[in-house]
């Protein structure tokens, strides 16, 4: 593979994460305007965005097999066509059913693109370099999550219709589409050269089970925590909404900074050991946040965002290193488990808040982080990443 080709594929991966981040995080900004557009209350409108999450989950799950049947370049180009159709449907939709279908298609496109982006990074980079590259790639999710809400605010403040926000997000896919030209992708399935195929019938091992549980619990814990922090801060502690919003902003800001820092730092440490330390630190910091006084909360949430930023991508990286060659099915399986955590967020935490209050949901999230720590610690006894990293380094 030429260096210019590798750079093009890497940028496709960057933009694939930016696309998903933009679609998921911009929801809160446009929900009120969309509810007004369809003459519905915001509470019922929020349920329709489940179609977006469902599309992401289904496509990530199915693409583990599709990648070996449909060439990656073909998937990305077909995804561009679907993106155009979905954005056009949003612009001309007068019914909630068509809106929901368009959101589902956007979720499908996003999930397929992100699963391809993740596989490309795990395929092109080895060992600790893979971890740092994947972490840097994931930072584009957060970066888009910071940029596109500002774009949405700019457009909505000028009375420009909400669907133009999705047209702007579509420009990210235009960049992906352009990059596919003159670019050679890894070939999977029966037509792949033997060197590009995953090792036949290689068992994943119990380490993958630990990592999958960790991925699900981490995403469920993180989104359950950050989703109910404003409610806990305002109703439980009497803080005003601006201060509560600042806590959430501080978390994501330090999260992105942490990703940039750890994309460099991870190269110098054993991935399983540093993952265990970070999971333990995050668990302790979350507990301190929940039990601290309001004046100390901003410091704890800044530290929590920073030290938890590398956990999810390191879980995926370690998963990809459990076999000699990064298997698309294995990577997508762990991604799917994380996406299940996204789907379960309000299903799990909603009843807890209704019956016991927002603080109970935060303690539940803290317990889930503790499970992540236990899984990462247990992984140390069964992981295969050290022997596979050593083999890759030898070659």
| Range list of H helices, 232-320 | 241-265, 271-291, 294-308, 311-320
Residues 27 and 104 in one domain: yes
Q: 297 lies in a domain?
A: yes
Residues 25 and 165 in one domain: yes
Would you say the C-alpha torsion 67, 73, 76, 79 has a positive or negative sign? negative
Domain that holds residue 57: 3-184
Residues 39 and 166 in one domain: yes
Structure-token pair, residue 91: 């612009």
The Cα angle at residue 12 between residues 8 and 15, in degrees rounded to 5 = 135
CA distance 278 to 306: 10
Residues 288 and 178 in one domain: no
Q: Is 347 exposed, middle or buried (0-12, 13-18, 19+ CB in 10 A)?
A: exposed
Residues 162 and 213 in one domain: no
Count CB atoms within 10 A of the CB of residue 250: 18
- Which residue among 149, 184, 219 closes a domain? 184
Residues 217 and 150 in one domain: no
Q: Identify the pLDDT of residue 193.
A: 61
HSE of 33 in the Cβ direction (CA atoms, 13 Å)? 18
Q: For residues 138 and 21, is the Cβ–Cβ distance under 8 A?
A: no
- Tens digits of residue pLDDT in 336-369: 899 888 888 878 888 898 899 889 999 999 999 9
Q: For residues 251 and 301, is the Cβ–Cβ distance under 8 A?
A: yes
Q: For residues 115 and 60, is the Cβ–Cβ distance under 8 A?
A: yes
Residues 178 and 214 in one domain: no
Q: 197 lies in a domain?
A: no
- Name the DSSP letter for residue 266: G
Question: 12-46 as b/e, with b when 16 or more CB fall inside 10 Å?
Answer: bbbbbbbbbbbbbbbbebbbebbbebeeeeeeebb
CA distance 232 to 359: 6
Residues 113 and 9 in one domain: yes
3-class SS letters over 47-110: HHCHHHHHHHHHHHHHHHHHCCCCCHHHHHHHHHHHHHHHHHHHHHCCCHHHHHHHHHHHHHHH
Q: 122 lies in a domain?
A: yes
Q: What length does the chain have?
A: 395
CA distance 274 to 260: 16
The pTM for the full model equals 0.79
Q: Identify the pLDDT of residue 15.
A: 95
Residues 166 and 32 in one domain: yes
CA distance 115 to 17: 9
State the total domains in the chain: 2
> Which candidate, 219, 213, 395, 221, places its Cα nearest to that of 318?
213
Q: Identify the pLDDT of residue 28.
A: 67
Give every CB contact of residue 213 below 8 A, 6+ residues apart in sequence.
Answer: 337, 371, 375
Residues 173 and 217 in one domain: no
Alpha carbon of 325 to those of 44, 70, 196, 333: distances in Å?
Answer: 45, 20, 8, 15
Helix (H) or strand (E) holding 33: helix 27-37
Q: 193 lies in a domain?
A: no
Give every CB contact of residue 244 below 8 A, 6+ residues apart in sequence.
Answer: 229, 230, 233, 234
Residues 136 and 260 in one domain: no
* CATH number of the structural domain spanning residue 379: 1.20.1250.20
- pLDDT < 70 positions in the chain: 1, 28, 42-44, 46-47, 127-128, 189-202, 326, 388-395
Separation of CA 282 from chain center: 18
Q: 200 lies in a domain?
A: no
Q: Identify the pLDDT of residue 393.
A: 46
Residues 151 and 239 in one domain: no
The Cα angle at residue 123 between residues 119 and 125, in degrees rounded to 5 = 120
Q: 192 lies in a domain?
A: no
């Amino acid at each position: 593979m030429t260096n210019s080709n590798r750079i093009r594929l890497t940028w496709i991966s960057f933009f694939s994460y930016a696309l998903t981040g933009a679609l998921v995080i911009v929801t809160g900004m446009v929900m009120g305007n969309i509810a007004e557009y369809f003459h519905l209350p915001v509470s019922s409108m929020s349920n329709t965005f489940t179609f977006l999450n469902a599309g992401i989950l289904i496509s990530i799950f199915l693409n583990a097999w599709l990648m070996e049947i449909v060439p990656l370049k073909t998937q990305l180009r077909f995804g561009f066509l679907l993106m155009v159709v979905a954005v056009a449907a949003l612009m001309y939709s007068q019914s909630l059913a068509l809106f929901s279908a368009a959101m589902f298609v956007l979720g499908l496109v996003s999930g397929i693109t992100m699963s391809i982006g993740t596989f490309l990074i795990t395929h092109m980079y080895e060992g600790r370099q893979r971890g740092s590259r994947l972490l840097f790639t994931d930072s584009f999710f957060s970066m888009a999550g910071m940029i596109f809400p500002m774009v949405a605010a700019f457009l909505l403040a000028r009375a420009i219709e909400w669907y133009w926000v999705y047209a702007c997000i579509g420009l990210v896919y235009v960049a992906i589409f352009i990059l596919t030209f003159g670019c050679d992708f890894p070939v999977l399935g029966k037509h792949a050269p033997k060197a590009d195929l995953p090792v036949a019938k290689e068992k994943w091992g119990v380490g993958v089970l630990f990592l999958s549980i960790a991925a699900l619990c981490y995403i469920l814990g993180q989104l359950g925590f950050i989703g109910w922090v404003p409610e806990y801060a305002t109703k439980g502690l009497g803080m005003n909404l601006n201060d509560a919003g600042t806590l959430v902003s501080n978390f994501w800001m330090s999260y992105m900074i942490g990703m940039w820092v750890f994309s460099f730092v991870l190269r110098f440490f054993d991935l399983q050991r540093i993952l265990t330390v970070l999971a333990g630190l995050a668990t302790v910091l979350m507990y301190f946040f929940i039990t601290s006084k309001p004046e100390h909360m901003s410091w704890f949430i800044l530290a929590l965002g920073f030290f938890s930023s590398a956990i999810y991508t390191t879980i995926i990286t370690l998963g990809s290193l459990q076999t000699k060659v990064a298997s698309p099915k294995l990577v997508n399986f762990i991604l799917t488990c994380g996406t299940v955590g996204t789907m379960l967020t309000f299903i799990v935490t909603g009843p807890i808040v209704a019956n016991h209050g927002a603080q109970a949901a935060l303690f539940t999230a803290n317990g889930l982080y503790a499970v992540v720590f236990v899984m990462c610690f247990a992984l140390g006894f069964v992981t295969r990443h050290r022997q596979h990293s050593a083999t890759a380094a030898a070659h």
